[in-house]
Amino acid sequence: MEHSEVQARVKKVISKVLKIDEANIADDANFIFDLGADSLQSVELVAAFEEEFQIEMEEDKALEVQTVSDAAKFISQYLK
Amino acid sequence: MSNLSPEKFENLQKIFYPQSIAIIGANKVKGTVPSDILFNILKAEFKGVVYPVNPREKHLASIKTYKYAIDIEDPVDLAVLVFPSSVMHMALEQCGQKGIKGAIIISAGFKEVGGQGIEREEQIKEIAKKYGINFIGPNCLGVINTDPNVLLNASFARKMPEEGKIAFISQSGALCTAVLDYAQAKHIGFSKFVSIGNKADISEIDLLYYLKDDPKTKVILLYLEEISDGIGLMEAAKTVIRESGKPILAIKSGRTEAGASAAASHTGSLAGSDEICDAAFKQAGIIRCDNIEEMFNKAIAFTYQPMPKDKRIAIITNAGGPGVLTTDKSIQQGLTLAKFSDTTTEILKKSLPKTANIKNPVDVIGDARADRYSVAVSSILKDENVDGAFIILTPQSMTEIESIALEISHLAGQFDKPIYTSFMGEADVKAGIDILQRNKIPHYILPESMPIAFSSVYRFKKMIEEKPEEVIKLNDKNSEKAKSILDKASSDGRKYLPEEEAVKVLEAYNFPLLKSTLVNSEEEAAKESEKLGYPVVMKIISDDIVHKFDVGGVILNIKSKEEAKESFNKIISNVKKNMPDAKIKGVFIRQMIPPGEEVILGMKRDITFGPVIMFGLGGLFVEIYKDVSFRVAPLDMKSVDKLISETKASAILSGARGLKPRDINSIKNCIIRLSQLAVHCPEIKELDINPLIVLEEGKGSFVADTKIMLH
């Protein structure tokens, strides 16, 4: 899967979980600081990414990921 | 640091007296810290403007909410940060860009969690430094300022306390909430309430300097778990007490921490971190308390009532037993029972029933009503021979508990003398206690707590009346010579100075030493002994032997040439038998000291407080008797006096039970020399002079044995 496609789908998931317009999600936006996710929503995001991409991620490491582009990179590792 | 820099003071003013606050990371999830902080600030009716900051919310609690701190149009004095630690650096960076200079970082997840948390703490410290921000926290409960001009509750404590004159600084956030609850029940108010958390930037030292000049604060309370800068804390406390006369009461937890039990010197073994902390607090004038109750018992005495002129107290009670208990405790605390003037005695005689005791402690008898208490209290407080009163009440069926409490509250304001009360019991006396507490009359559940609090206030008053003394400096020392010996040993990688070298270090500082020499054969031993003059002492010298007595390496009272030869051979054979691997450097011969009292002088370099001087009863059983006391170097004469007078040895030296008084001045002289040596030579880790033999008054003292350990 192309990186741009992963990134687009990541944004779609974030938009759904955090209820933010996709257009307002920048590539380097921080989930907490820029998008206002709280700890519960961070867990929800991890679960939603797993569902979207049909993968299973290491939760501790997944929760350390903080930005949209880092999430896309992190998820890409599981898609290879 | 002798005081706060103007920038830090300004920033602390912004933390305690902000006109506008940004709550960064506030949210709408009730019952969470980010939400409670916002609501607590609003509930306390903060007198300035509040700007919630949250990237997802348009409004919180009906207040316009900003995405970032930099979006706020108006200037902001204080940022309260409740974001998770992972993004704290970004939030603080924006505070810096916005020009915010004061911050409170509530969030946890920093140094206290280790690993990445340590890096995060360093990161926020750097950002704060870059923008000139001063912050409290992280990992803290927050800050409260009850001043009606600001009404700030930037904390997640459940309630805003009453306004009062006590400032409370705590390293434990959880303890803060417990203290607030405890204080509320007793109507104890606060001026400032600060949870310092990890104290990554603002520490208790900064706050002490700040509170020194805070007109709303009369008494400062500290709860500390660890002290990172002991010397700084002592300096700050001394400055606060000297310049403002405000007492500092402190609880330092971790009292039972094991001392350095495996230390090679007696001093190292006796000077545990708690003993040193105790000594340092005393020296700085900090009143150390064991628990919260003791701290508040003393704090209310300091806050509510004037300081006594002297220590002559009167006890007024309606029950004999508690009067006796209070008398006993008063005497034990060093107070005296006032002797009433004839006028007072006459008034008491006329106004009280015949069965009443009109002498101190005054017993107004079990059936006393408010009028009897009133006449007794007012006539006694008018008496010039009385410096303060303890009023005790036990609830009999006819006791007018509330009226008596009101009468006492009314009388307390009329005299410039302290009044403490103890309404004994719980259920029946509750309403009376409540009246006393609301009227700021110190009340104690146990009557014995009154003399304890009174004597604490009295001792503090005496202390602030004393003039501060200069550290004593002697100029007859040769510190270069001592340094060169120590440097050589350090560069050789040695951790311990053999006695002949240790003696040379002491010699350079002009300690009283006896003539001595090192020999390597029985002939030499005999010849040198003749030269020194009998009697002499011989000791083994070896880097491998610390406790010479234990290996048979010491022989005393050698009186002739023959004995000298014999002793030399005996020491060598004892050592070869008991420690066959020890490398022997020779045998040390020294004049025998005339009999005298054995004391110990010691020094240990403490990681928090620096060089600590120890004094006590000396000899073989130092660690069994543990009759020692400590002070942090450098010492002034007052500290030297106290160092000696705190020990039981002091009475022996002064001539107890018909003994001739010993030369205490020569001990003081040695202590001053040791204090200077400790300050000048940081290479020395521990030092024992044990024993120092003290002769009769005017005849001096002599160092009989010494050990020096290096880092």
pLDDT digits (tens, 9 = 90+) for B604-654: 999 889 999 999 988 777 778 888 999 999 999 989 999 999 999 898 899
Task: Give the span between the Cα atoms of B559 and B566, in whole angstroms.
Answer: 11
State mean pLDDT over A32-60.
Answer: 90
φ, ψ dihedrals at B221, nearest 5° = -115, 140
pLDDT of B255 reads 62
Q: Does A18 touch chain B (CB under 8 A)?
A: yes
Give the nearest chain B residue to A19 (CA atoms).
Answer: B56
Is residue B262 over pLDDT 70?
no
Task: Give the span between the Cα atoms of B630 and B271, in whole angstroms.
Answer: 8
Per the CB < 8 Å rule, is A20 touching B56? yes
pLDDT of B257 reads 52
Point out the least confidently predicted range of B395-409, B491-505, B618-632.
B618-632
ipTM > 0.90 (yes/no):
no
Hey, what domains does chain A have and what are their CATH numbers? 3-79 (1.10.1200.10)
Query: Which residues in B have their CB inside 8 Å of a CB on A?
Result: 27, 29, 54-57, 83-84, 86-87, 90-91
Comparing C-alpha atoms, which of A48, A60, A62, A55 is closest to residue A10?
A: A48
pLDDT band with cut points at 50, 70 and 90 for residue B256: low
Q: Provide the token pair at B413.
A: 């304001």
Element (H, E) at B176: helix B173-185
Give the best residue of B87, B93, B107, B119 to mutate against chain A (max A CB count within 10 A). Answer: B87
Q: Which residues of B touch A36 (CB under 8 A)?
A: 54-57
Domain ranges of chain B: 1-141, 157-304, 306-465, 515-592, 597-710
- In the 8-state DSSP scheme, what is residue B616? E
Q: Pairing mode, if any, of strands B20-24 and B78-81?
A: parallel
State mean pLDDT over B219-237.
Answer: 94
Per the CB < 8 Å rule, is B87 touching A30? yes
Q: Do domains B1-141 and B597-710 have the same CATH topology?
A: no
Per the CB < 8 Å rule, is B27 touching A30? no
Give the nearest chain A residue to B54 (CA atoms).
Answer: A36
Helix (H, G, I), strand (E, B) or coil at B104: strand
State the pTM of this model. Answer: 0.88
* Assigned architecture for domain B515-592: 2-Layer Sandwich (3.30)
Q: Which residues of A touch B84 (CB under 8 A)?
A: 32, 39
- Closest partner CB to A36 (pick from B54, B86, B90): B54
pLDDT band with cut points at 50, 70 and 90 for residue B360: very high
Task: Give the span between the Cα atoms of B250 and B212, in whole angstroms.
Answer: 16
Write the DSSP assignment of B458-487 as a string of letters. Answer: HHHHHHHHSPP-PBP------HHHHHHHHH
Residue B638: count of CB within 10 angstroms of its CB: 15
Residues of A annotated catalytic, as ranges: 38
Higher-pLDDT residue of B499 and B160 is B160
Task: Give the span between the Cα atoms of A73 and B520, in whole angstroms.
Answer: 79
What is the amino acid identity at position A29? Answer: A
State mean pLDDT over B176-199.
Answer: 95
- Closest partner CB to B84 (pick from A18, A32, A35): A32
Contacts of B128 (CB under 8 A, 6+ apart): B92, B96, B103, B134, B135, B201
- Summarised one tens digit per residue, pLDDT across range B104-152 is 999 999 999 999 999 999 999 999 999 999 999 999 999 999 999 999 9
φ, ψ dihedrals at B336, nearest 5° = -120, 150
Among residues of chain B, what percentage have pLDDT more than 90? 77
Contacts of B605 (CB under 8 A, 6+ apart): B611, B612, B678, B682, B684, B685, B686, B711
Per the CB < 8 Å rule, is B55 touching A35? yes
Point out the least confidently predicted range of B212-226, B253-267, B414-428, B467-481.
B253-267
Is residue B594 over pLDDT 80?
no
Distance from the Cα of A1 to chain B's closest Cα (Å) equals: 30
Task: Give the span between the Cα atoms of A67 and A69, in whole angstroms.
Answer: 6
Per the CB < 8 Å rule, is A32 touching B56? no
Q: Which residues of B touch A20 (CB under 8 A)?
A: 56
Give the best residue of A28, A33, A44, A61 to mutate against chain B (max B CB count within 10 A). Answer: A33
Give the best residue of A32, A35, A41, A68 to mutate against chain B (max B CB count within 10 A). Answer: A32
- Summarised one tens digit per residue, pLDDT across range B33-61 is 999 999 999 999 999 999 999 998 999 99
State mean pLDDT over B224-247.
Answer: 94
CATH number of B306-465: 3.40.50.261
Burial of B616 (0-12, 13-18, 19+ CB in 10 A): buried
The reply to whether omega before B661 is within 30° of 0 (cis) is: no
Q: What does the CA dihedral B201, B204, B209, B211 come to, rounded to 10 degrees? A: 110
State mean pLDDT over B305-319.
Answer: 96
Q: Which residues of A touch B90 (CB under 8 A)?
A: 30, 33
Q: Does A21 touch chain B (CB under 8 A)?
A: no
Per the CB < 8 Å rule, is B56 touching A35? yes
Find out whether B70 and B40 touch, Cβ atoms under 8 Å.
Answer: no
Q: Would you identify the CATH topology of the domain B157-304?
A: Rossmann fold (3.40.50)
State mean pLDDT over B578-582.
Answer: 90
Burial of B686 (0-12, 13-18, 19+ CB in 10 A): buried
State mean pLDDT over B173-182.
Answer: 90
State mean pLDDT over B316-336.
Answer: 96
Q: Which residues of B touch A37 (CB under 8 A)?
A: 56
pLDDT of B590 reads 86
Is residue B298 over pLDDT 50?
yes
pLDDT of B261 reads 44
Per the CB < 8 Å rule, is B83 touching A36? no
Task: Give the span between the Cα atoms of B402 and B310, in whole angstroms.
Answer: 30
For domain B597-710, is the CATH number 3.30.470.20? yes
Give the nearest chain B residue to A32 (CA atoms).
Answer: B87
Q: Would you identify the CATH topology of the domain B1-141?
A: Rossmann fold (3.40.50)
State mean pLDDT over A39-43.
Answer: 84
State mean pLDDT over B227-236.
Answer: 93
Is residue B259 over pLDDT 50?
no
Cβ pairs bridging A and B (under 8 Å) = 27
Q: Which residues of B touch A38 (CB under 8 A)?
A: 27, 29
pLDDT of B477 reads 78
Q: Which residues of B touch A66 (CB under 8 A)?
A: 86-87
What are the C-alpha distances in Å from B107 to residues A64, B80, B88?
17, 10, 8
Is residue B311 over pLDDT 90?
yes
Is residue B241 over pLDDT 90?
yes
Burial of B480 (0-12, 13-18, 19+ CB in 10 A): exposed
Among residues of chain B, what percentage have pLDDT more than 70? 98
**Mean per-residue pLDDT over chain B, rounded:** 92
